[in-house]
């Protein structure tokens, strides 16, 4: 009899513990905090993006907009300023310079200027590097920074995300037997710095995610990852369970 009474009391106690209590002061504070954090996640990226764009527009307008004569400047006749005039003027000037450089006279001047710059010890290194980078990035036929890859780095079993920048050529490829690929291994959270690795082609695992998604993943330290459903189905393929190790030395 005592066991039955004791069992009933325990069941009632368990039901009271499982029964939800009335929302209290701490429950409301938690909801408000969650709403605030959700608002920060929505507002902060948009606000920061518009702030950076606005600052860039103002800097360009203040420096490039001065090149526009006052009689052609709409702000001379309007009682308010028009943002973006400097940006538009810069785009037009760059386009005109490109048109001039594509002509016979422009190509001749460019070759003469490059020969002059190549004779300067320090400037030729800076100019040559920057020119090669911009030509690689803006070339339509280039596949640099167009693929995201995985490599085993710094040892077997640990995978690192990298970006394929091209096929290894020249003396480096001639001195080794396997075919190598140039892999840029970015650092987190600043993807502009990193390491240049020459990895055998068979040791590189190519991913379906876009370069933008790969950069977001690096910057966020893996917090932001692309959804598998957004990946193109035609590029998906079963990956091997194991991969040959990458020798890092």
Condensed to tens digits (0 to 9), the pLDDT of residues 165-205 reads 889 999 999 999 899 999 999 988 887 788 999 999 999 99
CA angle 129, 246, 173 (to 5 degrees): 45
pLDDT confidence of residue 162: 94
pLDDT confidence of residue 120: 87
Half-sphere exposure of 64 (CA within 13 A, CB side): 18
What is the value of pTM for the model shown? 0.50
Separation CA 106–CA 147 (nearest Å): 35
Residue position matching structure tokens 């408000």:
32
Condensed to tens digits (0 to 9), the pLDDT of residues 116-145 reads 888 888 888 888 888 877 776 666 545 567
CA diameter of the chain: 110
pLDDT confidence of residue 236: 44
Separation CA 191–CA 222 (nearest Å): 13
* Domains in the chain: ranges and CATH: 147-230 (2.30.30)
176, 203 in Cβ contact below 8 A? Answer: no
Condensed to tens digits (0 to 9), the pLDDT of residues 206-223 reads 999 888 888 888 888 888
Looking at mean pLDDT, say which of 45-49, 75-79, 181-185 comes out highest.
Answer: 181-185
Range 227-240 average pLDDT? 49
pLDDT above 80 for 2: no
220, 199 in Cβ contact below 8 A? Answer: no
Half-sphere exposure of 105 (CA within 13 A, CB side): 3
Residue position matching structure tokens 């938690």:
30
pLDDT above 50 for 233: no
pLDDT band at 244 (very low <50, low <70, confident <90, very high): very low
pLDDT confidence of residue 240: 43
User: Which of 1-10, 28-37, 93-102 is predicted least confidently?
Assistant: 1-10
188-214 CB burial, b ≥16 within 10 A, e <16: eeebeebeebebbeebbeebbbbeebb
């Amino acid at each position: 009899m005592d066991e039955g009474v004791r069992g009933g009391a325990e069941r009632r106690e368990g039901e009271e513990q499982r029964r939800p209590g009335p929302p209290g002061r701490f429950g409301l504070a938690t909801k408000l905090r969650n709403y605030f954090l959700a608002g920060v996640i929505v507002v902060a990226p948009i606000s920061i993006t518009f702030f950076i764009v606005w600052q860039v527009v103002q800097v360009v307008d203040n420096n490039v907009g001065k090149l526009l004569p006052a009689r052609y400047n709409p702000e001379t006749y309007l009682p308010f300023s028009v943002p973006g005039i400097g940006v538009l003027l810069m785009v037009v000037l760059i386009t005109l310079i490109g048109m001039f450089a594509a002509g016979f006279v422009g190509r001749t001047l460019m070759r003469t200027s490059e020969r002059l710059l190549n004779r300067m010890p320090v400037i030729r290194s800076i100019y040559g590097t920057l020119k090669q980078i911009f030509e690689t990035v803006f070339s339509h036929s280039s596949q640099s920074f167009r693929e995201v890859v995985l490599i085993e780095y710094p040892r077997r079993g640990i995978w690192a995300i990298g970006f394929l920048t091209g096929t290894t050529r020249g003396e480096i490829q001639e001195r080794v037997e396997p075919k190598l690929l140039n892999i840029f291994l970015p650092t987190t959270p600043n993807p502009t710095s990193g390491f240049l690795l020459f990895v055998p082609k068979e040791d590189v695992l190519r991913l379906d995610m876009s370069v933008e998604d790969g950069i977001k993943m690096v910057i966020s330290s893996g917090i932001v990852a692309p959804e598998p459903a957004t990946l193109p189905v035609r590029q998906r393929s079963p990956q091997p369970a194991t991969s040959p190790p990458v020798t890092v030395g």
